[in-house]
Amino acid sequence: MILILANLIPLFGVVQLDWNVRDIITLYWTESVVIGVINVKRMMKSEVGNILSGISPVPKNTGISIQGDTNDFTAAFNVVKLFMIAFFIVHYGVFCLGHLAVILVFFQDSAAEPSLAQSIQTFWKPEYWIGVAAIAFSHTYSYFNNFIEKTEYQNIGLFALMFRPYGRILILHITVIAGGVFVLRLGSPLPALLILVLLKTIMDLRLHNQEREKMAVTSNERSFANQ
């Protein structure tokens, strides 16, 4: 429900605030940044014994144990975690800059005004930041409700977390950018803009539900393995 409400902000912007395709795509780019910030929080929550696994920690009934001083192992894990978080911030930041460059190249309303200036104008709109706040709230809610309260952090390893955002973002934003270019070529008519927003909302819900289902299966498998 929170995800749907967050996606209604661009819909309201199109209908009531005369948002164009560049405004919408720029807002969706900001969502990539928000997802990256939330993923750093996920990586920080990752626990000892769950570093390499893409699914779950080593089952209890295997007889495998950590040898040596547990405190030393924890300290080493924390060092690795900090390095991987720093590495993620750098390579994900480069990814987001590349994503922004694509937007600047493809989405400009006129040759007279550079697309960078147009995007800066979008950033200064108060309603744009209302949309950013809604998106940030949606992903933050999902983080606390699913990753923390439902203990999804126990079911995914640190390495898997580092690459987790890319699958969802690539599928979602390649489709959105392709649709946005098509809408731009049509002259950004209102019906086409509405379809673009609805398409993104439907895909977002589908990808979110698939992720929750995968983590639920993982949690069940982990419980079975620990019996």
Question: How far apart, in whole angstroms, are the C-alpha atoms of residue 48 and residue 57?
Answer: 9
- Which of 118, 22, 1 lies closest to 10, judged by CA? 22
pLDDT 10s digits, 79-126? 888 999 999 999 999 999 988 888 877 776 555 455 556 666 666 677
Q: Is the pLDDT of residue 64 over 50?
A: no
Residue that wins the pLDDT comparison between 3 and 88: 88
Q: How buried is residue 107: exposed, middle or buried, by Cβ count under 10 Å (0-12/13-18/19+)?
A: buried
Residue that wins the pLDDT comparison between 60 and 4: 4
Q: What is the pLDDT of residue 91?
A: 93
Vertex 163 angle, CA 99 and 222, to 5°: 150
| Mean pLDDT, rounded, for 172-194 | 79
| Mean pLDDT, rounded, for 123-139 | 83
Q: Inter-axis angle of helices 70-106 and 21-45, to 10 degrees?
A: 170
Question: How far apart, in whole angstroms, are the C-alpha atoms of residue 23 and residue 122?
Answer: 6
pLDDT 10s digits, 141-159? 989 998 888 888 887 888 8
pLDDT 10s digits, 10-55? 778 777 777 778 788 888 888 899 999 999 999 998 876 555 544 4
Q: Is the pLDDT of residue 221 over 70?
A: no
> Are the beta carbons of 47 and 154 closer than 8 angstroms?
yes
Vertex 190 angle, CA 129 and 182, to 5°: 90
**Mean confidence (pLDDT) of the chain:** 76
pTM for the full model? 0.77
Q: What is the pLDDT of residue 1?
A: 67
Q: CB within 8 A of 22, min separation 6: which ones?
A: 103, 107, 108, 109, 115, 118, 119, 122
